[in-house]
Amino acid sequence: MDFSSFNPMVLAAALMVAATPILLAAIGELVVERSGVLNLGVEGMMITGAVVGFTAAVTTGNPYLGMLAAMAGGAALSLIFGVLTQLLKANQVASGLALTLFGLGFSALLGQGYAGVVPPRTAKLDLGLLSDIPVLGPILFRHDPMVYVSVAIVVAVWFWLTYTRSGRILRAVGENHDAAHALGYRVLRVRILAIMFGGACAGMGGAYLSLIRVPQWTEGMTAGIGWIALALVVFASWRPVRAMLGAYLFGGILVLQLNLQAAGIRIPAEYLAMSPYLITILVLVIMSSGRARKSLAAPGSLGKPFHAAG
Amino acid sequence: MLRLDKRPQPSKRWNWATPFLAVLLTMIAGGFLFMALGKDPFIAIKLIFWDPLFNPQVADYSRPQLLVKAGPLILIAVGLSVGFRAGIWNIGAEGQYIIGALCGAAVALAFWPAEGWYIFPLMVLAGAFGGWAWAMIPAILKTRFNTNEILVSLLLVYVAEKILAAMSVGLMRNPDGAGFPGSRNIAQYPAAANNELIADTGMHWGVVAAFIAVIFTYIMLHRHILGFQVQLAGQAPRAAKFAGVAPARLVVLCLGFSGAMAGLAGMFEVSGPARLVSIDFNAYYGFTAIIVAFLGRLHPVGIALAGLLMALTYIGGELAQFTLGLPSAAIQVFQGMLLFFLLAVDVLSNYRIRLKTHEAA
Amino acid sequence: MTEPLLSIEGLTKAYPGVIANSDVSFSIGKGEIHALLGENGAGKSTLVKAVYGLLRPDSGQMLWRGQPYAPAAPTQARQAGVAMVFQHFSLFDALDVAENVALGMDRPPPIRKLAARIREVSTAYGLPLDPSRLVGELSAGERQRVEIVRCLLQDPHLLIMDEPTSVLTPQEVDILFRTLRQLRSEGRSILYISHKLEEIRALCETATVLRHGEVVARCDPREQTARALAEMMVGTALHRPERPAHKPGRVLLEVRDLNLRSPYAFGTSLKDVSLTVQAGEILGIGGVAGNGQDELLAGLSGELRSRADAVRVKGDPAGDKGPTARRALGLLCAPEERLGHAAAPDMNLTENALLTGAWREKLVRRGFIDAGRARAFAERIIRRFDVRTPGPHVAARALSGGNLQKFVIGREILQRPEVLVVNQPTWGVDASAAAAIRQALMDLAQNGAAVVVISQDLDEILEVADTFAALNGGRLSAARPVKGLTMEAIGLMLGGAEGDSDAAA
């Protein structure tokens, strides 16, 4: 066993990068669920974002255009979900699954011929003095800009949900759609917008994976991260800042596991690779067994269909 | 603008018609997809839906394949449909399918090269048990800790895939295989092989099991009080509790049944068509079966028909891949679209669509 | 009188299969409390939804201070000066009072300023509120205050109140009326929707009576008797169900110190609930919504289990048994929520008959359903309880509230219960169905069953019950004979103020 590759500082720095795709997808889904909709298609939207972002970045040579394209792609796919569940009243669980199954196929189709292609590089952000701080500098301040964008999104979502009128309306719609409708709020409009925001975030998360974290396109490269993001929303009790902490926790586990594999520890790689999924399950169990708290945290109308009578 | 009016009760006629409408819409949309890929849409659709059955050049090969592919899809989908009706979402059938296959294969490999009539039946039991046990994880976590069964069953698919990978290069690797990954060829081990029962029909024990499962499930759902309780729990959970249905029991029952069916399908696959345990023997039947279950409107007979249709798209897709160079992913997209359209046209059985004469809030 | 504040002229609104409002006209003057009176399903809700901009009428027009008024959304109605207090569905449990108020306003001030305003206004009108509390933790009466304060902060000219007293104790009703009269004295108008005749006679100076979507009468309710108003509302003379006083029999249902934690998010846990009901007795359990009614029903039906000896049926311990086993003992129940709890909305009536009748009526043999017997049972319920429906193949959700309720109650009664527990048996049900249901409950008791009627409608309880107990915050008062109970005493019991009733008895 080789512990030389085991530098805690490198590990901590890699953690933020590993966590960013999960965080982006989770914060998007969090907003969707706060509006009362359960979109299980995160995995499908992420992989779509990954491939759309990748092809767009390779074609234009600009990773940021790739990111934007990925957001558009994720949002477009999520719009199908929005139309199905909100306008056509389809079952949310089944529609979310459909999104994932479709996204996996669609991304494989679109990504043909892009395997092995190297995407344009995303420059690390130069934060000058901050980057030079010993220890904290490399851990916190020597990343690509998207890491900071994701943190900014979390903070913005938190502020928006807590302090703004439109954020309050979104929470109201998610808490009790009948009441929101009676007060004159457009339940379906709010929800479709939320769903598209979730799609854009998931798409961005996927593109981060294919453009920055890996960076490469391979079929099925999201490998369940979308599902982990869904679990993370439960873990976070639907609160943005907790979602961020949770994402970094998962990021840490991912990085640790990869490093253990690299260090040649005497557990077969396949078993180490299981650990993120097993730990996610464990976390879900712990979070959901505190029953009283859960019932307070979950949005009241989560997953229920809304049809305005009259 | 259109307006939806909820029907006083679901329309029986639309209930029947929607799957056909969805298939038709998928063909049209699929045609556009194939056109976008530079293929002639009419030829492609004919290749997928007509040639495997009626083109004399390929039908000899492809007709038997229909049952080979439909068998596991139907078996898994029938199992899933019971839970889906009850609002219990096992979407990890793929994982249960893998574990069932591994358990079945383990029995075969343990007895190799012994002969004995009891080996295959033991494998059947092991396969069903493996799938059942894997499904019991989300079931017990759900009943004990109220953990979401959707996420747990799905996450366990990834775990099962890793176990499969570990097994095919580790414990189950063929010792005489020159170090290549993959187990011994079970299909060539007579006591354990799940071979064709009637030559050139594709009929193997898995297809027989699927057939039995369809009949069993039909009786259970439509004649037995358990089927009534399943539907009640899915449609009105509170009314089900009031009627005396214990939710925890139902969760264990539905997840267990679907897990056992998926495990059986995996075992029949690995000892027959797939021949051996290899890292990618699974072919995503566990996920495609979700589409089959919905296409069959969660009705056992409907699922049998839907399974055949979905098998056709697999075989036709391969055919289109060879002759037209249609990418295999295009068929996956095609299947995904089918589910979208199914969910979309379902609105017709529960709502009346009217032209909106004036704005209503 | 000068120009009316709001006049409605020839308003018509049809839904597929029903005409909710047909050529409705009336007007409300400034500073007037105007009653809109009618049975459930008479078209009151449709009418006020049109006034509040939640739906658009098919024809007819409204004038606001003489100008055409056709709000396309509640926002426009609020801008004109119309505010509405809903009967249900307009508060958000997980949000605090201030946030809830803000959501009902079009341009709310910043939350901190708003909180101060809420304190100020709520105190000024005698309805004090703490703006930082979560709405889910408030009592039904306090929740209504939130709605009223939300309206008042917008300085409305017309306040619409939809069945406001159904969730209040008699004492709380007095407070509310004081507030409403204060509003009238400030020159505001109130459209007061109710089917409670005494309230309307006490509060309103004009009344418009709706029946089957049409205006059938206009009057000054202060000059009418309650009976006359009732006949205007229903169209026929009502007969009051009657039966001889009950003679004490053996105890069939006994509950001792039942404690249950509520499984619902903002539910009320039961604390040391005890009661006994004898053969032939009807026990009425009153209480404002959300004081443990659902939990009590679940604790009796077996949906929630407890200690074995907390619930006894004919002396047999049943507290640890589930619904099926309790039915076998003769304890049957009918919950409040018809669609989704007592019945499955999308299932047909045969299947809904099977829902509770499977074993007692032997509709299932060795696990297999006897479809013929199940249909016959459903048909028997339909016939015996006059359920208006084409037949047992119809989905439950296609029935009107009254017909479905007759089906649900009939389903239990035809199974010959020894103990029957019903929650809100006539909630949202038209008067003739309500009378039929009450009569059926009394007949059942007359034939020797023990009946528990949980209801928020005190008039109903006084009409059918022999004994009365009040549920407050999950605690049940000791039962007292209905004969000789005054409204004031009941109000005190509902408010949880009694406690020495044992000494009084």
pLDDT at C379 over 70: yes
Do both C105 and C171 map to the same domain? yes
Give B346 to chain C, closest Cα distance, Å. 15
Q: Which residues pair with C475 in a beta bridge?
A: C472
Phi, psi dihedral angles at C217 (to 5 degrees): -160, 150
pLDDT at B319 over 50: yes
Q: What is the C-alpha to C-alpha distance for residues C289 and C472, in angstroms, rounded to an integer?
A: 9
Q: With an 8 Å Cβ cutoff, are B343 and A184 in contact?
A: no
Q: Which chains are adjacent to chain A, needing at least 3 Cβ pairs under 8 Å?
A: B, C
Lowest mean per-residue pLDDT among B224-238, B247-261, C2-16, C467-481: C2-16
**How many whole angstroms from its chain centre is CA A285?**
21
List CB contacts of A277: < 8 A, sequence separation 6 or more.
A224, A228, B155, B156, B158, B159
Do both C166 and C280 map to the same domain? no
C302 reaches B (C-beta below 8 A): yes
List CB contacts of B110: < 8 A, sequence separation 6 or more.
none
Do both C225 and C269 map to the same domain? no
| Region B301-327 average pLDDT | 92
- Alpha helices by DSSP H, C247-313: 293-301
pLDDT at B309 over 80: yes
Using a CB–CB cut-off of 8 Å, the residues of A that contact C are: 165, 168-169, 171-172, 175-176, 178-180, 182-185, 295-296, 299-300, 310
A44-62 residue pLDDT tens: 999 999 999 999 999 999 9
Q: What is the C-alpha to C-alpha distance for residues A187 and A165, in angstroms, rounded to an integer?
A: 15
- Please list every residue in chain B whose beta carbon sits closer than 8 Å to the beta carbon of residue C348: 9
pLDDT at A185 over 60: yes
Residue C131 lies in a domain: yes
pLDDT at A310 over 50: no
Size of interface A-B (CB pairs under 8 A): 135
Q: What is the C-alpha to C-alpha distance for residues B272 and B193, in angstroms, rounded to an integer?
A: 6
User: CA torsion angle for B16, B333, B273, B46 (degrees, to 10)?
Assistant: 70
Last residue of a domain, one of C193, C208, C234: C234
Residue C239 lies in a domain: no
List CB contacts of C242: < 8 A, sequence separation 6 or more.
none
Q: With an 8 Å Cβ cutoff, are A300 and C94 in contact?
A: yes
pTM of the model: 0.88
List CB contacts of A116: < 8 A, sequence separation 6 or more.
A216
**How many whole angstroms from its chain centre is CA C238?**
21
Tell me what the pLDDT averaged over chain C comes to. 88
Q: What is the C-alpha to C-alpha distance for residues C17 and B194, in angstroms, rounded to an integer?
A: 60
Do both C326 and C394 map to the same domain? yes
**Domain extents for chain A?**
8-297
pLDDT at A293 over 60: no
Q: What is the C-alpha to C-alpha distance for residues C252 and C250, in angstroms, rounded to an integer?
A: 6
Structural domains in chain C (count): 2
- Please list every residue in chain A whose beta carbon sits closer than 8 Å to the beta carbon of residue B346: 88, 90
Q: What is the C-alpha to C-alpha distance for residues A191 and A83, in angstroms, rounded to an integer?
A: 10
Q: With an 8 Å Cβ cutoff, are C323 and B242 in contact?
A: yes
Size of interface B-C (CB pairs under 8 A): 89
List CB contacts of C468: < 8 A, sequence separation 6 or more.
C283, C284, C285, C286, C461, C462, C479, C480, C481, C482, C485, C490, C493
Given the DSSP bridges, would you call strands C311-313 and C251-260 parallel, antiparallel or unpaired?
A: antiparallel
**Domain extents for chain B?**
66-304
List CB contacts of C391: < 8 A, sequence separation 6 or more.
C349, C379, C382
Q: With an 8 Å Cβ cutoff, are B244 and C323 in contact?
A: yes
- Tell me, what's the pLDDT at A287? 81
- For A19-70, give the DSSP string: HHHHHHHHHHHHHHHHTT---TTHHHHHHHHHHHHHHHHHHHS-HHHHHHHH
Lowest mean per-residue pLDDT among A68-77, A83-92, B99-108, C494-503: C494-503
B153-181 residue pLDDT tens: 999 999 999 999 999 888 888 888 877 88
Q: With an 8 Å Cβ cutoff, are B163 and A270 in contact?
A: yes
Residue B69, exposed/middle/buried by CB under 10 A (0-12, 13-18, 19+)? buried
| Region B109-128 average pLDDT | 93
Residue pair B155/B163 in contact (Cβ under 8 Å)? The answer is no
C25-68 residue pLDDT tens: 999 999 999 999 887 778 888 899 899 998 889 999 999 999 99
- Tell me, what's the pLDDT at B281? 84
Q: What is the C-alpha to C-alpha distance for residues C252 and B152, in angstroms, rounded to an integer?
A: 47
Q: What CATH number matches the domain at A8-297, 2.30.42, 1.10.3470, 1.20.120, 1.10.287?
A: 1.10.3470
Q: With an 8 Å Cβ cutoff, are B360 and C55 in contact?
A: yes
| Region C244-255 average pLDDT | 85
C466-496 residue pLDDT tens: 999 999 889 999 999 988 888 778 888 887 7
Size of interface A-C (CB pairs under 8 A): 60
Using a CB–CB cut-off of 8 Å, the residues of C that contact A are: 15, 46, 49, 53-55, 73-75, 78, 86, 88-95, 99, 102-104, 108, 264-265
**B155, B163, B337 ranked by CB distance to A280: nearest:** B155
Lowest mean per-residue pLDDT among A53-62, B285-294, C45-54, C303-312: C45-54
Please tell me whether the peptide bond between B113 and the residue prior to it is cis, using omega within 30 degrees of 0.
yes
Do both C455 and C367 map to the same domain? yes
- Tell me, what's the pLDDT at B303? 96
Quickly state the pLDDT bin for C500 (edges 50, 70, 90): very low
A127-168 residue pLDDT tens: 777 777 777 777 777 788 889 999 999 999 999 999 999 999
Burial pattern B83-115, b for ≥16 Cβ within 10 A else e, equals: bbbbbbbbbbbbbbbbbbbbbbbbbbbebeeee
- Tell me, what's the pLDDT at C242? 65
- Tell me, what's the pLDDT at B219? 96
Rounded to 5 degrees, what angle do the CA atoms C63, C68, C73 make? 95
Do both C270 and C196 map to the same domain? no
State the residue for tokens 């708003």.
Answer: C114
Residue C112, exposed/middle/buried by CB under 10 A (0-12, 13-18, 19+)? exposed
Q: What is the C-alpha to C-alpha distance for residues B336 and B26, in angstroms, rounded to an integer?
A: 9
**B4, B343, B350 ranked by CB distance to A95: nearest:** B343
In chain C, pLDDT over 90 holds for what percent of residues?
A: 57
C-beta neighbour count of C232 within 10 angstroms? 21
Cα distance from N-terminal residue to C-terminal residue, chain A: 70
Q: With an 8 Å Cβ cutoff, are C369 and B228 in contact?
A: yes
- For C453-502, give the DSSP string: EE-S-HHHHHHH-SEEEEEETTEEPPPEESTT--HHHHHHHHTT----HH
Residue C243 lies in a domain: no
pLDDT at A290 over 70: no
ipTM of the complex: 0.88
CA within 13 Å, CB half, A54? 32
| Region B77-87 average pLDDT | 95
- Tell me, what's the pLDDT at A292? 45
Q: With an 8 Å Cβ cutoff, are C327 and B244 in contact?
A: yes
Query: Rg of chain B's alpha carbons, rounded to an integer?
Result: 22
| Region B341-361 average pLDDT | 74
Last residue of a domain, one of C174, C205, C234: C234
- Alpha helices by DSSP H, C81-169: 97-103, 111-124, 140-152
Determine the length of chain B.
361
Q: What is the C-alpha to C-alpha distance for residues B328 and B308, in angstroms, rounded to an integer?
A: 19
B63-81 residue pLDDT tens: 889 999 999 999 999 999 9
Residue B336 is given by DSSP the state H
Q: With an 8 Å Cβ cutoff, are C90 and A300 in contact?
A: no
B290 reaches A (C-beta below 8 A): yes
- Tell me, what's the pLDDT at C46? 87
Domain limits for position C312:
251-504
- For B104-115, give the DSSP string: HHHHHHHHTT--
Q: What is the C-alpha to C-alpha distance for residues A237 and A282, in angstroms, rounded to an integer?
A: 15
Per the structure block, which two tokens stand in for B97? 């399918």
Q: What is the C-alpha to C-alpha distance for residues C181 and C328, in angstroms, rounded to an integer?
A: 54
Interface of B with A in 75-134 (CB under 8 A): 89, 91
Q: With an 8 Å Cβ cutoff, are A176 and C265 in contact?
A: no
Give A26 to chain B, closest Cα distance, Å. 14
- Please list every residue in chain A whose beta carbon sits closer than 8 Å to the beta carbon of residue B144: 289
pLDDT at C406 over 80: yes
Q: What is the C-alpha to C-alpha distance for residues C195 and C197, in angstroms, rounded to an integer?
A: 6
Q: What is the C-alpha to C-alpha distance for residues C378 and C353, in angstroms, rounded to an integer?
A: 5
- Tell me, what's the pLDDT at C492? 83
State the residue for tokens 């396309």.
Answer: C72
Q: With an 8 Å Cβ cutoff, are A182 and C90 in contact?
A: yes
Do both C322 and C204 map to the same domain? no
Greater confidence (A7 vs A66) lies with A66
- Please list every residue in chain A whose beta carbon sits closer than 8 Å to the beta carbon of residue C91: 176, 179
Give A219 to chain B, closest Cα distance, Å. 10
- Please list every residue in chain C whose beta carbon sits closer than 8 Å to the beta carbon of residue B358: 56
Mark residue C187 as left, alpha or beta (left: phi above 0; alpha: psi -120 to 50; beta: remaining): left
Per the structure block, which two tokens stand in for A43? 């995995």
The H or E element containing residue B15 is helix B12-36
C188-219 residue pLDDT tens: 999 998 877 888 888 999 999 988 888 988 99
- Please list every residue in chain C whose beta carbon sits closer than 8 Å to the beta carbon of residue B238: 337, 340-341
Q: Which residue of A has its CA nearest to C103?
A: A169
Last residue of a domain, one of C234, C259, C293: C234
- Tell me, what's the pLDDT at A103? 95
- Please list every residue in chain C whose beta carbon sits closer than 8 Å to the beta carbon of residue B352: 16
- Tell me, what's the pLDDT at C433? 86
Quickly state the pLDDT bin for C501 (edges 50, 70, 90): very low
Residue B358, exposed/middle/buried by CB under 10 A (0-12, 13-18, 19+)? exposed
- Tell me, what's the pLDDT at C505? 34
C347 reaches B (C-beta below 8 A): yes
Give A19 to chain C, closest Cα distance, Å. 30
Do both C10 and C39 map to the same domain? yes
Q: Which residue of A has its CA nearest to B7?
A: A309
- Please list every residue in chain B whose beta carbon sits closer than 8 Å to the beta carbon of residue A102: 333, 336-337, 339-340
Quickly state the pLDDT bin for C136 (edges 50, 70, 90): confident
B21 reaches A (C-beta below 8 A): no
Lowest mean per-residue pLDDT among B1-10, B322-331, C88-97, C378-387: B1-10
State the residue for tokens 């999308």.
Answer: C346
CA within 13 Å, CB half, A84? 30
CATH (domain of C494): 3.40.50.300
